[in-house]
Amino acid sequence: MYKTIHQYYLYIITNKTNGTIYIGVTNNLERRMFEHKNKLIEGFTKQYGLYKLVYFETYQYVNDAIKIEKNMKKWKRQWKIDLIEKDNPNWKDLSKDWTFLIE
């Protein structure tokens, strides 16, 4: 019997370079970015117009992703900026060219 491997994503979105930062966790990054880009979720991200995916990590276990998310939310802002700029110095929207096939 094969065990299903799940993927969970810790992600960071913003509205512009050095703008407001939001950190979240999801099991479907494509669907979640579709929701953010189309303002389908009430709350912080909709209020501040956060839609640019600037960073993400993949985890096998949801508890690992949540643990890192909670820890990262306590970080100083500059640490978050440094993390983003390490792999994405121009704050490009990593989901910009995605074709959203939402079920």
Picking from 47, 43, 44, 33, the residue whose alpha carbon sits closest to that of residue 93 is 33
Domain residue limits at 82: 8-87
Report the pLDDT averaged over residues 60-75. 97
Task: Specify burial of residue 25 (Cβ count, 10 A radius: 0-12, 13-18, 19+).
Answer: buried
> Considering the domain boundaries, does residue 99 fall inside one?
no
Domains held by the chain: number: 1
Report the pLDDT averaged over residues 56-67. 96
> Considering the domain boundaries, does residue 96 fall inside one?
no
Confidence band, pLDDT 50/70/90 cuts, at residue 1? low
Neighbours of 99 (CB within 10 A): 5
The answer on pLDDT for 35 being more than 90 is yes
> Rounded to an integer, what distance in angstroms lies between the CA atom of residue 36 and that of residue 6?
22
pTM, two decimals, is 0.90
> Considering the domain boundaries, does residue 1 fall inside one?
no
The DSSP 8-state label assigned to residue 83 in this structure reads H
> Considering the domain boundaries, does residue 71 fall inside one?
yes
Average pLDDT, the chain: 93
